[in-house]
Amino acid sequence: MKAVVLVGGEGTRLRPLTYDLPKPMVPICGKPFMQYQLELMKDHGIDEVIFSLGYKSSAFEEYFGDGAGFGMKIHYIVEDSPLGTAGAIKNVEHLLDDSSFLVFNGDILSRMNLTEIMNFHKEKKSACTIVLTPVDDPTMYGVVELDSNSGIVNFTEKPKKEEVRSNLINAGLYILEPGILKRMEPARKYSIEREIFPAMLADKEPMFGYSYSGYWMDIGTPFKYLSSNHDTLTGKMPVDLNHREGIVYGKNTDISTNAVLTAPLWIGDNVIIKSGAKIEGPAVIDRGCIIGEKTKISGALLWEKTKTGNGCILDSCLIGRDCNLGDNVKIGKLAVIGSCNIIEKDRIIEAETCI
Ligand code: GDD
Ligand code: MG
């Protein structure tokens, strides 16, 4: 089965990090988020993927190439202007055939059992299967109501609070029959959630919801993106990190014997941690970072080649690549520092500030 991955969004809520990298390419424990999705597909026998791209499209091709290095065939289709979540699918029609295909939203970290979902789709003779997950506040999502046979009876994108009648939401994965493409003209903007799903329901097409209750995280905000790194470290997001007592060490690290490291941690290749530094997990110090003497880091995420001075205090913050922090810099919880910033010594950056 082929998979279409929708990755045309600008990732505005993850700015300034997404000024440097598109959201699906931001690292989770040293590896682009999108690689986790591709590995999940590969595990379930999907080896042909079509990326539907817009914003910062070249970052994908530079990293994944033609896919051969990942045991896959990858196509890249770039939109001149955003065609919406359904227009983007119509736009790759020439790469699809007359069989069912998968569509992924490009910002969901999960361990869905794709094989089971594909079997469910076949058994139900479904025209459109939507994977569903329960959430506490469904108003930010597409909300789905089911009948007793898992048939979808209603789909409402981002309903008002008073309209919510279910806590099951669209988890961002569909299996579609190719007939859906007949509902659209080429080169026009369509939303699958607001236009196509409601139209299919009105036409009584067989649509089913597959309920998924495993790990699911939309990585779209600083809190959720940091949480997805923490969850990967703690094992809540079940992937094998090959750690030693909760700490993943890269190659050629230089960690002072006077530094105190508390698991779970991910430390990339060539990281230097100087004397008296304290790193408290869950935290990610990506490749080539240098941590100064007596610097305290707890819960933070540092992208590659960022350097801290001595005596800094970094609380659960997110720092892009190639930043340079002077001595005694303090950065508060969920502050986001974009790549290539220089922060002068003694500066205090309050929680939730973006720079
Ligand atoms: N190629 C392309 N073109 N991709 C697009 C476009 C477009 O015009 N617009 C959005 N996308 C991609 C985004 O990059 C993202 O991967 C995916 O489509 C969904 O768009 P978001 O902007 O992230 O939507 P959302 O998070 O508000 O809501 C969607 O996801 C929820 C689950 O997280 C909806 O599908 C909801 O129904 C769903 O519950
Ligand atoms: Mg999203």
Q: What is the pLDDT of residues 192-208, one digit of tens each?
A: 999 999 999 999 999 99
For the question of whether the overall pTM of this predicted structure is more than 0.85, the answer is yes
Each residue's pLDDT tens digit, 48-62: 999 999 888 889 999
Q: Whose CA is nearest to atom 28 of ligand 1?
A: 141
Q: Answer yes or no: are the C-beta atoms of 278 and 258 closer than 8 Å.
A: no
Residue minimizing CA distance to atom 4 of ligand 1:
8
Could you tell me which of 31, 43, 30, 36 has the C-alpha nearest to residue 5?
36
Residues having CB within 6 Å of any atom of ligand 1: 6-9, 52, 54, 79, 82-85, 88, 105-108, 141-142, 157, 169-170, 172, 193, 218, 220
Residue 146 and residue 37 share a domain: yes
Domains in the chain, number = 2
Q: Take atom 10 of ligand 1 and give the residue whose Cα is closest.
A: 9
**pLDDT for position 50:** 98
- Residue 224 forms part of a structural domain: no
Cβ atoms of 135 and 79 within 8 Å: the answer is no
- In the beta sheet, which residues pair with residue 296? 278, 313
Residue that finishes a domain, picked among 217, 233, 265 = 217
Ligand 2 midpoint to CA 328 (Å): 36
Q: Is residue 329 one of the residues assigned to a domain?
A: yes
Position 284 in a domain: yes
Give pLDDT, residue 240. 83
Choose the catalytic residue: 158, 182, 251, 296: 158
Amino acid at 7: V
Which residues are found with C-beta within 5 Å of the ion, ligand 2? 107, 220
% the chain with pLDDT above 70:
100
The mean of the pLDDT values for the chain is 96
The reply to whether 268 and 130 lie within a common domain is no
Predicted local confidence at residue 164, as pLDDT: 92
Residue 151 β-bridge partners: 208
Which pLDDT score, from 0 to 100, does residue 274 have?
98
State the ligand closest to the CA atom of 193. 1
pLDDT at res. 10: 81
The mean per-residue pLDDT over the stretch 36-52 comes to 96
**Residues 282 and 180 grouped into a single domain:** no
- Statement to judge: residues 194 and 272 lie in one domain: no
Q: Is the pLDDT of residue 239 over 90?
A: no
74 plus 141 within the same structural domain: yes
Residue 95 is part of which domain span?
2-217
Who wins on pLDDT, 54 or 88?
Answer: 88
Same domain, yes or no: 19 and 149: yes
List phi, psi (to 5°) of 201: -65, -40
Query: In the predicted model, is pLDDT for residue 129 greater than 90?
Result: yes
Determine the distance separating the centroid of ligand 1 and the alpha carbon of 14, expressed in angstroms: 14
- Give residue 276's pLDDT: 98
Say whether pLDDT at 222 is over 90.
yes
Residue 311 lies in a domain: yes
In a domain, residue 354? The reply is: no
Q: For residue 77, give both structure tokens.
A: 């289709």
Residue 192 alpha carbon, nearest atom of ligand 1: 35
Residue 227 maps to a domain: no
Residues 6+ positions from 202 with CB-CB distance below 8 Å = none
